[in-house]
Amino acid sequence: MVLLCKSPVSCVSELVGAGKDIESAYWELVVKDIQDTCKLLEPIYNETDGEDGHVSLAVSPKLANDTKGTIEAAKWLHNMVGSPCVYMKIPATDESISSMKEVISLGISVNATLIFCLPKYEVVIDAYLDGLESCGMTDLSKVSSAAAFYISRVDVTLDKKLEQIGTSEALDLKGKGAVAQAVLAYQLYQKKFSGPRWERLENRGAKKQRLMWASTNVKNPSYPDTFYVNSVIGPDTISTFLVQALQAFMDHGILSRTLDAKVSEAQDMYNAIEKLGIDWSSVGSELEHEVLDSFTKSFDNVLECMQKKAMSIYSFQKHV
């Protein structure tokens, strides 16, 4: 059954009135929005041979620790949207790494998100490569992926830990760790997508999994407002922006290849933070749980809001 509605709220109330539970109504609305967006971006997707023009659709954050559930949800949503432009957005939890591999092996493109540290990023790359190698498709050119590596959130956590240590050496490293790690992530990207293993996949039409910089907005007002965007510019990468960050960059950002300009300096900073007793993997795990928890709460809040709005309208309509 398809319902045509003038507004999202009235559509939810009609879906609920027709017997849909609130989460089913939510996904029906989301799929429709994603389909409409895919149609808008399909010309870009076609013109760039699938390099650009993608739309991400996240599986429920409640499935982050459910490998099988994530696989089934990704398959269902991909089938419902029915567009080559769509990326299934899957968080890089330990349980969902296996989901990514399986989904990619089925020829479904993936946006791997919530990556906060280098060890987890390498596991994500390997899941993509394993998935491509397991894929039964002769031509892999229609399968692609992006890896969302977070930046400013990392500095927020690192800066707190450096302040707690409090030495001059620690304080001098504030605001430097996240970019240093991003620079090293790009080095890892270049390493993993070269050599005999990658060349075999490339010969089957495979595309590189592009690095996508997430959380590029500056959270510390003492840092320049274009700091992170300016610092991670390089080939084969994607930068995400909040509107304010985009406006700031358009106004006074510096468009220059910075991502691999100071690799040895980035490695020194990364090592220096580690020598102070800060474990990068632990920082990544802490942030993963923190952000995933916020995503889950937001998801629940949306469903709760939809439920209240839909039932109030439906109840009103019954008494008119």
Instruction: Starting at the earlier edge strand, list the strands of the sheet with 110-115.
Output: 55-58, 86-91, 110-115, 145-150, 210-214, 237-239
Contacts (Cβ under 8 Å, ≥6 apart) of 235: 257
Instruction: Give the separation between CA 201 and CA 140, rounded to whole angstroms.
Output: 8
pLDDT at residue 308 in the model: 85
What global pTM score does this model have?
Answer: 0.91
The pLDDT of residue 103 is above 80: yes
Mean pLDDT across the chain, nearest whole number? 92
- Tell me what the mean pLDDT of segment 67-94 comes to: 98
The pLDDT of residue 116 is above 90: yes
Is domain 116-282 annotated with CATH 3.40.50.10440?
no
pLDDT in tens, 169-179: 999 999 999 99
Torsion of CA 132, 236, 95, 217, to 10 degrees: -160
pLDDT at residue 1 in the model: 29
SS3 34: helix
Instruction: Give the separation between CA 248 and CA 276, rounded to whole angstroms.
Output: 34
Tokens of 244: 């304010």
pLDDT at residue 21 in the model: 85
pLDDT at residue 12 in the model: 61
Tokens of 27: 């996904």
pLDDT at residue 171 in the model: 98
The pLDDT of residue 226 is above 70: yes
The pLDDT of residue 41 is above 50: yes
Residues of the chain with CATH 3.20.20.70: 116-282
Tokens of 218: 């500056």
pLDDT at residue 230 in the model: 96
- Say what angle helices 118-134 and 94-105 make with each other, to 10 degrees: 30
The pLDDT of residue 312 is above 90: no
- Tell me what the mean pLDDT of segment 148-161 comes to: 98
The pLDDT of residue 316 is above 70: no
Instruction: Give the separation between CA 6 and CA 9, rounded to whole angstroms.
Output: 9
Q: How confident is the model at residue 117 (pLDDT cuts 50, 70, 90)?
A: very high
Q: How confident is the model at residue 307 (pLDDT cuts 50, 70, 90)?
A: confident
pLDDT at residue 15 in the model: 61
The pLDDT of residue 315 is above 60: no
SS3 91: strand
SS3 149: strand
- Tell me what the mean pLDDT of segment 222-242 comes to: 95
Please tell me which residue, 244 or 140, carries the higher pLDDT value. Answer: 140
Contact 125, 190 (CB under 8 A): no
Positions marked catalytic: 89
pLDDT in tens, 3-38: 334 445 556 656 655 667 889 989 999 999 999 999
